[in-house]
Amino acid sequence: MITGKFPSLRLRRTRKFTWSRKLIQENNLSSNDFIYPIFLIEGKNKKQPIKSMPDIYKYTIDKLGTLVSNAIKNKIPMVALFPSTPKKKKDYNGNEALNENNLVCRATRYIKKRFKNDIGIMCDVALDPYTSHGHDGLIKKNYVLNDITIEILKKQSLLQAQMGCDVIAPSDMMDGRIGAIRKALDKNNFQNVCILSYSAKYASNFYGPFRDAVGSRSNLKSDKKTYQMDYKNSNEAFREIGLDIKEGADIVMIKPGMPYLDIIKNIKDKFKIPVFAYQVSGEYSLLKNGIKMNLIKDEAIMESLVAFKRAGASAIITYFALEIAKKLKSF
C-alpha cells in the first residue's frame, strides 16, 4: 500500500542519481544465476558455428577444457551438455543414448576428471538427440509411448550418474518419469544426484535453433503437442509441477522463459521450490539478431535476464551465460 501523496511524495527523487538508483534496486544478477549450455560434436579440435544461433558453436570434447575453465573463472556454477549426435549413430529407438561412449558420457567423464567438483554438470535426459525421428521417446503409429520410454530414460539417467553427472535433467515430459528415475538412482546408491525436472515444458515455437544445433529438426516430421504442454494453459503447470515434486524432483524448470514469466512467478509463489528458467534458443536468436541489426540495444540482454529474477527464477539456463558473466565481473 502506498502512503502519502503528491507533491510531498515524489518517487522520482530516488531515481535522480546512479548511486540512489543502485541503493533501491530490488533485483540483481550475478554469475551464480547462470547455467552455461554447451553443444558437443564428434571429432578433434573443432569449433562449428550454428547458423541459426549467432556466436554460438558446437565443440569437440578436446575443446571443453578452455570452455569450462572460462566458466569457472567467471564464477558460473554449472554447465549443461547437449549432444549433436551424428546421423549414422541415430536409430528408431535412440540406442546411442545408452552408449557409455556417447558424446555426453565422454564429455562428463572428461569434465569430472579434470575439474572434479569445481563446477556442476547437468545432463539432459531425453531421446530426441538420438532418435532418427526426432521425438523424445519411443514411438508407435506416430505417438510417443509413455511407459516403455520411461524404462529407457531410467537407464539413460543411471548411465549419466555413473559417468559423473551431478544433475539429471529429464526434458522428455513423460508422465511418471521423475518417480521412476528417482527410485532407480536411489536403488543404485546415487541418492545425492539431483533431479532438475523440465516440469512445465511447453510445445513452443521458440525451439527451432536448438533443434538445428542437435540435428533433430530435419528428422522431426510431426509436432510434440501430445506430450509437451499447450501454451494456452497455465493451471496445468501446477498439476505437472505438483506431481514432479511428489515424485522427487529437487528443482523444477519452466521452458521457454520470457513468454512464461507468469508461470515462473506463480510456481515460485505456490510451491516455494527452486525454479529454473530456460531462455531458449529462439529467445536468444531473436535478441542477438535484433542487436546485430541495430533494432535494439545490447542492454536488452541484461533486461531479459533480470526479468527472470524479478519473476522469481532461482537460476537461468542461457546462451548468454559466459558473455554476461564477463560483463558482470567488470562492474
- Any idea what the CATH number is for the domain that residue 319 is in? 3.20.20.70
Choose the catalytic residue: 58, 63, 154, 201.
201
272 is known as an active-site residue: no
DSSP lists the bridge partners of residue 38 as: 81
Q: Is residue 305 part of a domain?
A: yes
Q: Which of helix, strand or coil describes residue 136? A: coil
Q: Is residue 16 part of a domain?
A: no
For the chain, percent of residues with pLDDT exceeding 70: 99
pLDDT digits (tens, 9 = 90+) for 43-83: 999 999 999 999 999 999 999 999 999 999 999 999 999 99
Torsion sign over Cα 291, 214, 120, 171: positive
Q: Is residue 12 part of a domain?
A: no
Q: Is residue 240 part of a domain?
A: yes
Q: Is residue 7 part of a domain?
A: no
Question: Which pTM value belongs to this model?
Answer: 0.95
Which DSSP letter does residue 221 get? -
Number of domains in the chain: 1
pLDDT digits (tens, 9 = 90+) for 247-297: 999 999 999 999 999 999 999 999 999 999 999 999 999 999 999 999 999
Which structural domain, as residue segments, surrounds residue 63?
A: 30-330
**Predicted local confidence at residue 19, as pLDDT:** 87
141 is known as an active-site residue: no
**C-alpha dist (Å) from residue 98 to 34, 130, 156, 242:** 28, 10, 6, 29
Q: Is residue 137 part of a domain?
A: yes
Choose the catalytic residue: 90, 154, 255, 288.
255
Q: Is residue 81 part of a domain?
A: yes
Q: Is residue 285 part of a domain?
A: yes
Average model confidence (pLDDT) across the chain: 95
Q: Is the pLDDT of residue 1 over 70?
A: no
